[in-house]
Structure 1
Amino acid sequence: MAIDNKDKKGLKSSIEREQNELACSAEREKIKGSKNLNVPPLRFPEFNGEWEKYKLSKICSFFSGGTPSSSKKEYYDGNIPFIRSGELHEEQTELFITEDGFKNSATKMVEVGDLLLALYGATSGDIAISKINGAINQAILCIRTNQNKKFIESIWRKHVEKLLQTYLQGGQGNLSADIVKNISFYFSRIEEQNKLAEFISLLDERIATQNKIIEKYESLIKGLNDSLYKQYGNAITTSFADLGHSYSGLSGKSAEDFGSGKPFITYLNVYSNSVVNENDYQYVRISDGEKQNVVKYGDVLFTLSSETPEEVGIGSIYLGKSDVYLNSFCFGIHITDTKVAFPPYLSYYVSSTPFRKFIYPYAQGSTRFNLCKADFEKARIKIPSLENQKRIYFILSHIASKVKTETKLLDLFRLQKQSLLRQMFI
């Protein structure tokens, strides 16, 4: 997928023009900064004066939602979009609820332009301006305000890593409405907020374009993966219990143990990647001689729980060479029968549509769903022959290499944005 040259040049020149304006005022703002004024290091030249600090509770209103009972079929397949925490940035939802589902639950309606924040789960701390009218579940906090919402979204993104380190230590922790209400940020006058929001939106447009390029390649991989499995996937009947043995994640850890020490794979790393991202570890203190399970090359990792049954048992493969640990909300399967299974191929198998349909019935619960691990491990699965596993992996990995290249470019755009957020906001 190519970017239209005219659009590319126009967007680039707009960003460069705004950056030149900022550069002209940088030196003046550095001098001000030396006097300990509450102003950002980088500022548009037409603005002056200090920013003021406010708790979000002083300038925003808040509400969260709920989930209609999953046992009531009459509550679903209606015409009300039901927004879950993984869908904050989307223009459509997978689930829809009925009027009865809405009336008989704690869910609430949000509107286009509302600011939505994921409170817990794999996307904790994610924030977005809603693109649709719809109902929200209990994992989403709606924030309404007369301030510029893009400004709040941007300043939240500047501070989100520190906020998550404070409130979500150890992996899949929770934010809450009370925590968010008591967070304080510095705010400029509304005219400056609007100018900053306009500039950040230009960067977001380019990032969105790059995301679409990646999505096209990922869609191609998904389609080919399902097609090739349909063609070759019935050669071998086995189970994960036959292919290897399972183990649990970290145990006996408290919040004080996290932040330094040995690398461990987070819940979000497993949830977001078919192959574990080795650049996205967190760290935990492991004492000498302490008994904790270690993740090895070729291990298949699965999430244990989620707010929806569709998101239980999301799989990822570890293809690194170093020994690492696993968060407590996931479990691993160490593959020992490599005459039957080619571990790199399993990264595609566990993300295929047939496998997702296979694992769905093993999710149990009502408001929170957990994987029935023992039954899942013993269940019979069908995979291609070893030779075809390698053939499929070879085909799909070539396209995946292109995704990596485009993702690196996306990372550069995001780094540029983060750099500007650090300089343009307090």
Structure 2
Amino acid sequence: MTTMAIDNKEKEVLNVPHLRFPEFNGEWEKCKVSDLLDFYSTNSLSWEQLEYDTNAMMNLHYGLIHVGLPTMVDLTKDKLPNIKEGNMPKNFARCKEGDVAFADASEDTNEVAKAIEFYNLNGNDVVCGLHTIHGRDNSDNTVIGFKGYLFSSMVFHHQIRRIAQGTKIFSINTKNFAECYVGVPSKEEQTKIATLLRLIDERIMTQNKIIEDLNKLKSAIIEMEYTHKTKGNTHIGDFIEQTSKRNKDSAIQNVLSVSNSQGFIQQCEQFENRSVASDDISNYKIVERNCFAFNPARINVGSIARLTTFNRGIVSPMYICFRTKDNLFPEYLDYYFESKQFFTEIQKRLEGSVRQCLSYEGLCNIPLCIPTVEVQQQTGKRLSTLVQEIKLEIGFLELLQKQKKFLLHQMFI
């Protein structure tokens, strides 16, 4: 916050952000949301009343604000569902470019009043739907492209967290929402801020596409490599051996779990900084680097992994642990477990009615032919190089997201 001395004794706090383009000065106008926006009724159409890829009117569902849409919605790039025939709402305001929409409910207080702005409607008719708040500038004080970021700022969401109501589901309404305050600079400064943040958003979208394409390439290589490796008389059980060494003296304290998205992780990470391990961990199974483990009841959702992040750790006795024999390169088997072929094979072998499980014997019976160790190593190296590239790109994406978050915190009041 910028300060200014008065009579060399007093300091006055100005209505300006912490971070600002150097060519601008003067205070921002601080006003209530109700002084900036008029609100319009929204419909309550469910997903069952919507469909994609027709020429009918488009409908904004609040779920898309939470999980799919960027801050600036450009309908030349972004997709909204269309309203099915016979479900067309009546007497609802059509959205205009520059209108904003907020999700009025969420399980996360940080997501309540998450905002989007219609930046380019591309000639489409759009209405706001279920659990949204539809607002429009009532004073021509803002430029198109600024309000979406204004209402995404950290300063604004600090206010929202204080007024959100509920226990499991948090919500807001237009009455208390309208009493929140926002700061509005000159239109020239708005344009500069909006342009910067929109460029960062575009780079984030590009980065997401890069990662998506690399993951598609990885999946294609895996399918090409492993699809033909199931015809023959050999099975996974010919190349692996089960391990059941216990943590008898409780010397190992590194309790691990297998996540379907992250592989081996420390148990306190998976269960939000709390341990669900037994007080007595002497019966836990020891897993060493390059060994595998899976939860028999969760392998159908991908909970199988090779230990690479730690030299060793322990897992619950419920896990099945195994390692590869000398004729199977562990990395080669690891990537096979990501193939569609493997998923298809385990579905055939799941047992149980309420909770379906895969036994160790069921895993061993899955057919698998393997090439020479040299070819296995080449395949593993090729895929591992690609995985490292994906990790680097994800790291850069996270930096861009942090940069945007920092600017949303520092450039608004």
TM-score (norm 1): 0.53
Q: Is the 8 A contact 1:78 1:99 kept in 2?
A: no
Letter of the structure 2 residue corresponding to residue 334 of structure 1: Y
1:321 aligns with 2:306: no
User: Higher mean Cα deviation, 155-164 or 345-354?
Assistant: 155-164
Q: Tell me the residue number matched to 1:410.
A: 397
1:214 aligns with 2:211: yes
Q: Is the 8 A contact 1:116 1:142 kept in 2?
A: yes
Q: Is the 8 A contact 1:116 1:128 kept in 2?
A: yes
Q: CA deviation at 1:179?
A: 8.3
Q: Tell me the residue number matched to 1:308.
A: none
**Equivalent of 1:188 in 183, 186, 201:** 183
**Equivalent of 1:40 in 14, 17, 23:** 17
Q: Is the 8 A contact 2:211 2:390 kept in 1?
A: yes
1:338 aligns with 2:323: yes
Q: CA deviation at 1:156?
A: 3.0
User: Higher mean Cα deviation, 198-207 or 37-46?
Assistant: 37-46
Change in Cα spacing, 1:348 to 1:339, as seen in structure 2 (3 Å) is closer
**1:94-128: CA deviation from partner (whole Å, max 9, x where unpaired):** x989937x849xxx99979764759469x977865
> Helix, strand or coil for the counterpart of 1:35?
strand
Letter of the structure 1 residue corresponding to residue 182 of structure 2: F
Q: CA deviation at 1:228?
A: 1.4
Q: CA deviation at 1:204?
A: 1.6
Q: CA deviation at 1:188?
A: 2.4
- Cα distance in 2 between the residues matched to 1:321 and 1:353: 28
Q: Is the 8 A contact 2:297 2:355 kept in 1?
A: no
- Counterparts of 1:36-185 in structure 2 under 5 Å? 36-44=13-21, 45=24, 48-52=27-31, 54=33, 66-68=46-48, 79=54, 86-88=67-69, 99=84, 103=87, 115=101, 117=103, 119=106, 141-147=131-137, 151-153=147-149, 155-156=151-152, 158=154, 175-178=169-172
Change in Cα spacing, 1:187 to 1:216, as seen in structure 2 (3 Å) is same
Q: CA deviation at 1:201?
A: 0.4
- Cα distance in 1 between the residues matched to 2:278 and 2:126: 50
Letter of the structure 2 residue corresponding to residue 88 of structure 1: L
The count of aligned residue pairs is 343
Change in Cα spacing, 1:291 to 1:214, as seen in structure 2 (3 Å) is same
Letter of the structure 1 residue corresponding to residue 27 of structure 2: N
- Cα distance in 1 between the residues matched to 2:312 and 2:126: 43
> Helix, strand or coil for the counterpart of 1:338?
strand
Letter of the structure 1 residue corresponding to residue 134 of structure 2: R
> Helix, strand or coil for the counterpart of 2:319?
strand
- Cα distance in 2 between the residues matched to 1:393 and 1:315: 20
Q: Is the 8 A contact 2:155 2:412 kept in 1?
A: no
Change in Cα spacing, 1:418 to 1:92, as seen in structure 2 (3 Å) is closer
- Cα distance in 1 between the residues matched to 2:337 and 2:162: 33
- Cα distance in 1 between the residues matched to 2:194 and 2:398: 21
Q: Tell me the residue number matched to 1:223.
A: 220
**1:29-59: CA deviation from partner (whole Å, max 9, x where unpaired):** 3549x73445321234155234345499986
- Cα distance in 2 between the residues matched to 1:201 and 1:227: 39
Q: Tell me the residue number matched to 1:249.
A: none
Q: CA deviation at 1:214?
A: 2.6
Letter of the structure 2 residue corresponding to residue 144 of structure 1: H
- Cα distance in 2 between the residues matched to 1:243 and 1:166: 56
Q: Is the 8 A contact 1:263 1:283 kept in 2?
A: no
**Equivalent of 1:394 in 369, 378, 381:** 381
- Cα distance in 1 between the residues matched to 2:214 and 2:320: 29
Gaps of 5+ in 1: 1-25, 70-74, 168-172, 246-261, 305-311, 363-370
- Cα distance in 2 between the residues matched to 1:347 and 1:276: 16
Q: Is the 8 A contact 2:53 2:82 kept in 1?
A: yes
> Helix, strand or coil for the counterpart of 2:356?
helix
TM-score (norm 2): 0.54
- Cα distance in 2 between the residues matched to 1:189 and 1:199: 16
Letter of the structure 1 residue corresponding to residue 216 of structure 2: S
Q: Is the 8 A contact 1:52 1:187 kept in 2?
A: yes
Q: CA deviation at 1:205?
A: 2.1
- Cα distance in 1 between the residues matched to 2:376 and 2:153: 41
Change in Cα spacing, 1:354 to 1:319, as seen in structure 2 (3 Å) is same
- Cα distance in 2 between the residues matched to 1:144 and 1:156: 15
Q: Tell me the residue number matched to 1:374.
A: 356
Letter of the structure 2 residue corresponding to residue 336 of structure 1: C
Q: Where is the helix percentage greater, Structure 1 or Structure 2?
A: 1
- Cα distance in 1 between the residues matched to 2:115 and 2:345: 32
Q: CA deviation at 1:338?
A: 1.9
Change in Cα spacing, 1:38 to 1:59, as seen in structure 2 (3 Å) is farther
Q: Is the 8 A contact 1:300 1:332 kept in 2?
A: no
Letter of the structure 2 residue corresponding to residue 228 of structure 1: E
Larger radius of gyration: 2
Letter of the structure 2 residue corresponding to residue 313 of structure 1: V
- Cα distance in 2 between the residues matched to 1:224 and 1:63: 46
Q: CA deviation at 1:189?
A: 2.8
Q: CA deviation at 1:163?
A: 10
> Helix, strand or coil for the counterpart of 1:146?
strand
**1:276-303: CA deviation from partner (whole Å, max 9, x where unpaired):** 699x877424499657999967445799
